Amino acid sequence: MEGPRPKGCTTAQTIHIPPLHTVQLLPIVPFNRIFALVYLCAVLALFYHHLQTLLCSTTLVSFFINLILFISDLVLAFMWSTAQASRLYPIQRKEFPENLDNVVKRSDYPAVDVIICTADPTREPPMSVVNTALSVMAYDYPTEKLSVYVSDDGGSALTLFAFMEAAKFAAHWLPFCRENNIVQRNPESYFESNYSSSSEAVEIIKIMYENMKMRVEHVVEKGKIGDEYITSDEERQAFNQWTHNFTSQNHPTVIQVLLANNRSKDVTGNFMPNLIYVSREKSSTSHHHFKAGALNVLLRVSAVMTNAPIILTLDCDMYSNDPQTLLRVLCYYSDPEIRSKYSYVQFPQHFHGINKNDIYACQFKRLFAIQPMGFDGLGGSNNVGTNVFFSRRAFFGGPSNFISPEIPELSPDHLVDKPIQSPEVLALACHVAGCNYENQCAWGYKMGFRYGSLVEDFFTGYQLRCEGWRSMFCNPDRPAFLGNAPISLVDLLNQLKRWAVGVFEVGFSKYSPMIYGIRRLGLLMTLLYSQYAFWPIWSIPITTYAFLPQLALINQVRVFPKVSEPWFLLYPFLFLGAYWQDYFDFVSANGTFQMWWNDQRIWTIRGLTCLWFGSLEFLLKSLGILTHGFSLTSKVVDDEQSKRYDQGIFDFGVPSPMFVPLTMAALINLVSFIMGLAEVVKSSNLEGLLIQMFIAGFGVVNCWPIYEAMVFRKDKGKLPTKITLTAAFLTWALYIAASFIFK
Ligand SMILES: O=c1ccn([C@@H]2O[C@H](COP(=O)(O)OP(=O)(O)O[C@H]3O[C@H](CO)[C@@H](O)[C@H](O)[C@H]3O)[C@@H](O)[C@H]2O)c(=O)[nH]1
Ligand SMILES: [Mn+2]
> Per residue in 557-607, pLDDT tens?
999 999 999 999 999 999 999 999 999 999 999 999 999 999 999 999 999
Q: How far is the CA of 24 from the centre of ligand 2 (A)?
A: 31
Q: How many CB atoms lie within 10 A of CB 34?
A: 10
Mean pLDDT for 61-84 is 96
**What are the backbone dihedrals phi and psi of residue 425, each rounded to the nearest 5 degrees, phi first?**
-60, -45
Higher pLDDT, 480 or 634: 480
Phi, psi dihedrals of residue 696, rounded to the nearest 5°: -65, -40
Domain boundaries, the chain: 99-489, 511-741
Confidence bin at 112 (pLDDT 50/70/90): very high
Provide the pairing of β-strand 310-315 with 112-118.
parallel
The pTM score is 0.95
pLDDT at 616 over 70: yes
Buried b (16+ CB within 10 A) or exposed e, 530-560: bbbbbbbbbbbbbbbbbbbbbbbbbbebebb
Q: In angstroms, what CA-CA distances link 478 with 55, 231, 325, 702?
A: 56, 40, 10, 33
CA of 633 to the centre of ligand 2 (A): 6
- As a whole number of angstroms, the distance between CA 272 and CA 270 comes to 6
Nearest atom of ligand 1 to the alpha carbon of 634: 12
Which atom of ligand 1 is nearest the CA belonging to 635?
13
Phi-psi region of 182 (alpha: psi -120 to 50; beta: other; left: phi over 0): beta
Return the ligand 1 atom nearest residue 499 CA: 23
Q: Which atom of ligand 1 is nearest to the CA of 316?
A: 31
Active site residue 491: no
Residue 308: how many CB atoms within 10 A of its CB?
21
CA distance 33 to 91: 14
| Dist. CA 688–CA 437, nearest whole Å | 68
| CA-atom Rg of the chain in angstroms | 28
Per-residue confidence band for 8, with pLDDT thresholds at 50, 70 and 90: very low
Q: In the structure, what pLDDT confidence band is assigned to residue 201 with cuts at 50, 70 and 90?
A: confident
Residues 637-650: tens digit of each pLDDT: 888 899 999 999 99
If you take atom 13 of ligand 1, which residue's CA is the nearest one? 633
pLDDT on residue 200 = 87
> Is 457 a residue of the active site?
yes
The Å distance, Cα 364 to ligand 1 centre, comes to 16
State residue 743's pLDDT score: 78
Identify which has the larger pLDDT, 114 or 653: 114
Contact yes or no for 464/471 (Cβ under 8 A): yes
CA–centroid distance, residue 168 to ligand 1 (Å): 28
Distance CA 493, CA 686 (A): 37
Most confident of 6-15, 523-532, 644-653: 523-532
Q: How many other CB atoms are there within 10 angstroms of residue 429's CB atom?
A: 23
CATH superfamily of domain region 99-489: Spore Coat Polysaccharide Biosynthesis Protein SpsA; Chain A (3.90.550.10)
* Mean pLDDT of the region 694-707: 97
pLDDT of residue 10: 44
The end-to-end CA distance of the chain, in Å, is: 55
pLDDT at 59: 92
State the DSSP string of 63-128.
Answer: HHHHHHHHHHHHHHHHHHHHHHHHHSS-EEEEE-GGGGGGT--GGGPPPEEEEEEE--TTTS-HHH
Mean predicted lDDT score pLDDT of the chain: 94
Residues 6+ apart with CB under 8 A from 10: none
Confidence category of residue 368, pLDDT binned at 50, 70, 90: very high
Find out whether the beta carbon of 457 lies less than 6 Å from any atom of ligand 1.
yes
For the question of an ipTM over 0.95, the answer is yes
Q: Which of 73, 113, 457, 491 is flagged as catalytic? A: 457
Q: How many angstroms separate the CA atoms of 154 and 288, rounded?
A: 12
> Is 486 within 8 Å of 633 (Cβ atoms)?
yes
Which residue of the set 73, 120, 153, 651 is catalytic?
153
| Percent of the chain with pLDDT strictly greater than 90 | 91
Model confidence at 742, in pLDDT bands (50, 70, 90)? confident
Give the range with max mean pLDDT: 55-59, 425-429, 714-718: 425-429
pLDDT at 637: 81
Ligand 1, atom 22, lies closest to the CA of 455
17 has pLDDT over 80: no
Q: Is the pLDDT of residue 2 over 80?
A: no
Cα 426 from chain centroid?
A: 33
Mean pLDDT of 645-669: 95
pLDDT above 70 covers a percentage of the chain that reads 98
* Ligand 1 within 6 A of CB of 502: yes
Task: Answer yes or no: is pLDDT of 730 > 50.
Answer: yes
Q: Which ligand is nearest to the CA of 496?
A: 1
pLDDT of residue 188: 97
pLDDT at 14: 54
Angle at 54 between CA 52 and CA 58, to 5 degrees: 105
Give the pLDDT of residue 11.
Answer: 46
pLDDT of residue 665: 98
Reference 518, options 472, 465, 470, 473; nearest CA is 465
Predicted confidence at residue 1, as pLDDT, reads 37
What confidence tier does 687 reach under pLDDT thresholds 50, 70, 90?
confident
